[in-house]
Amino acid sequence: MTTLELLATPAGVSGVRRALRPYGTDVQLCASELVTNVVRHVGEAVPVTVRVWREEGGRIRLGVSDPDPRVLPVLVADIGTEAESGRGLALVDALAVRWGVEQEAGRKTVWCELFTETDADADIDTRTPKTPERPGRRKPSAGALGQASARS
């Protein structure tokens, strides 16, 4: 497991990407988008915890926690071509197998799971996992609709 504790700032986002490089590009992109959402919607200099770990079945799980359980992510259905923002959660939705939100007293965690092609016994620090193409879209999880989802 990798755990990063930081203050949500634009400069912190690039540090998260660098720290998560061993997990591959898709994990880096999802983490960047989720931390950027904290900066934009909760505020700069908010304490954030980023956790990444391997789940059974070859999945990588990423969780980004912040101290405001009231500000929930919203997947915007249609972003105009001229819009300068609003695509981050759509990117997470496209890359992740599933994603959701866990709300607790005093914090929330936005999480996502990605499949990887590495062996179950591979050392995450020496191998770069890749997210394979998925044969079709899944139905959005309850978390994709802004509802709390139980961790499976």
pLDDT in tens, 47-98: 999 999 998 888 999 999 999 998 888 776 666 556 555 678 888 999 999 9
Determine the pLDDT at residue 28: 96
Sign of CA dihedral 24, 126, 65, 35: negative
Give the bridge partners for 49, in sequence order: 5, 65
Determine the pLDDT at residue 55: 87
pTM of the model: 0.73
At 97-112, the pLDDT tens digits run 999 999 999 999 999 9
Which residues make Cβ contacts (< 8 Å) with residue 64, sequence separation at least 6? 31, 34, 35, 38, 48, 49, 50, 109, 110, 111
Question: What average pLDDT does the segment 17-32 reach?
Answer: 95
